[in-house]
Structure 1
Amino acid sequence: MAGKEVAKQSLKVVMFLGSARENRVCTRVSKFVHEQLTRSGHDVTVIDPLEMDLPVLRQSMMFVKDWTTLPETMVKANETLVNSDTIVVISPEYNHSIPPALSNLIDHFPISSYKYKVSGIVCYSPGPYGGMRAAMQLRCLLSEIGTISVPHIFGIPHVTKALDEDGKPLNEHMESGARKLITQLGWYSEALKAKKEKDGVPS
């Protein structure tokens, strides 16, 4: 039946935060999305550019021969990413584009850590467009690193009027938009997991 919530399994979700800006609104958006995902029974790990504090990318992990030379936080984050089912990206837009903190964070990890996973985009802005220009570019990036981006992009326009500082929703669009995204993440992730368990992945 169209619109039916079919997700039955608990998914391991990695949530990338897209902003390192002072007084970032990303915090309230991530709190809301985290709560919605956990309420739906999913296990969520947050990878935050502020906490990771990575330098400007010079070399991806995939080109480093000895990972003992890398920060332990990076190695552990990559292990979590490898073992995840689903990736959710929380992103504003900077100059109508992907925030540099987000692309820098994503690019530090090996492409192999992302492949054959499902991804979802949550974007936001203080204005009416909800970060959609960055979302269109993110969809291209997420495809290039090997993920399957679900059809629904959860855009949040006028974000400070949509969520309070604690991440509590201030309008009906928030929960309905999150529910649609999470339902699609569950459907696609379960289908992909079943296929991988049955046939593995292409070499």
Structure 2
Amino acid sequence: MAESAQDSPLRLEVIVASVRPKRFAPVVADWFLRQARADEDFEVGVIDLIDTPLPLDLTENDEVRAFQGRIEAADAFVAVTSEYNHGYPAALKTAFDSAKREWRGKPIGFVSYGGLSGGLRAVEQLRQVVAEIHMVSIRETVSFHEAKRRFDADGETHDGAAIDASARMLRQLAWWATALRTARTADPYPGS
């Protein structure tokens, strides 16, 4: 008998937002990916925006359609984001704007990093954006303040608050992803 969608692992796409040269994003993203891949509820993929050519003018092409297909197939998302000038990276906004209905009725969590704020100002702005595209923002956030000091040479952290927040966020994300996948299967999300 074929496995039903309800019995299959949740498809989690981790979006790496920073596209700057010499970015710190891979260190933070790789750490979080190890946490997520250890969770049996999720099948984890990575959308690194540095490798995802999305047109700034939001025209549709084959790359955009492939991106939209990955968003459509996912049950949940986590954005790993830096904070630049009290905001989030422009590449992440382009990603959100390059799809529409594919985001709807799905949960998203945030892993942020930066200086003193740990990227939390970027996350608060992103919560407004994802609400507008009909996503559910997970309350728990993983945040690394003075991020470069929080990781050792092997990309590990001993930041207990971040480790704890990651586990709580993944549990909440799994709950919401399961509930929303069940709801979307029973009755497609309304909207134009």
Q: 2:27 — aligned with what?
A: 28
Distance 1:28 1:35, change over 3 A: same
**Shift, 1:113, TM fit:** 1.0
Residues 28 and 165 in structure 1, CA contact (< 8 A), matched pair in contact too: no
More strand by share: 2
**Shift, 1:13, TM fit:** 0.8
**Shift, 1:163, TM fit:** 2.1
Residues 124 and 157 in structure 1, CA contact (< 8 A), matched pair in contact too: yes
| 3-state SS, counterpart of residue 156 of structure 1 | strand
Q: 1:5 — aligned with what?
A: none
Q: Aligned residues, how many? A: 184
**Deviation string, structure 1 residues 69-114 (Cα, Å, up to 9, x no partner):** x23x433222111011001111111110121122123222x21110
Taking every aligned residue pair, what percent have the same amino acid on both sides? 26
Distance 1:182 1:88, change over 3 A: same
Q: 2:105 — aligned with what?
A: 116
Q: 2:45 — aligned with what?
A: 45
**Shift, 1:171, TM fit:** 2.6
Unaligned residue ranges in structure 1 (runs of 5+): 1-7, 62-69
Distance 1:53 1:76, change over 3 A: closer
Q: 130-139 vs 191-200, which deviates more?
A: 191-200
Q: 98-107 vs 114-123, which deviates more?
A: 98-107
| 3-state SS, counterpart of residue 130 of structure 1 | coil
Q: 2:17 — aligned with what?
A: 18
Residues 15 and 46 in structure 1, CA contact (< 8 A), matched pair in contact too: yes
Matching residue within 156, 159, 172 for 2:144: 156
| 3-state SS, counterpart of residue 142 of structure 1 | helix
For 1:44, the aligned partner's letter is V
Unaligned residue ranges in structure 2 (runs of 5+): 1-6
For 1:89, the aligned partner's letter is A
**Shift, 1:51, TM fit:** 0.7
**Shift, 1:45, TM fit:** 1.6
**Shift, 1:193, TM fit:** 1.7
Q: Which runs of 4+ in 1 moved over 4 A?
A: none
**Deviation string, structure 1 residues 113-132 (Cα, Å, up to 9, x no partner):** 1001111111111x221111
**Deviation string, structure 1 residues 1-39 (Cα, Å, up to 9, x no partner):** xxxxxxx96210111111111111111111011111110
Alpha-carbon distance in structure 1 between the residues aligned to 2:37 and 2:68: 21
C-alpha RMSD over aligned residues = 1.8
Distance 1:75 1:164, change over 3 A: farther
TM-score under structure 2 length normalisation:
0.87
Distance 1:105 1:202, change over 3 A: closer
Residues 161 and 170 in structure 1, CA contact (< 8 A), matched pair in contact too: no
Is residue 79 of structure 1 aligned with residue 69 of structure 2? yes
For 1:79, the aligned partner's letter is G
Residues 119 and 185 in structure 1, CA contact (< 8 A), matched pair in contact too: yes
Distance 1:14 1:60, change over 3 A: farther
Q: 1:167 — aligned with what?
A: 155
**Shift, 1:59, TM fit:** 2.6
Distance 1:60 1:179, change over 3 A: farther
Is residue 182 of structure 1 aligned with residue 181 of structure 2? no
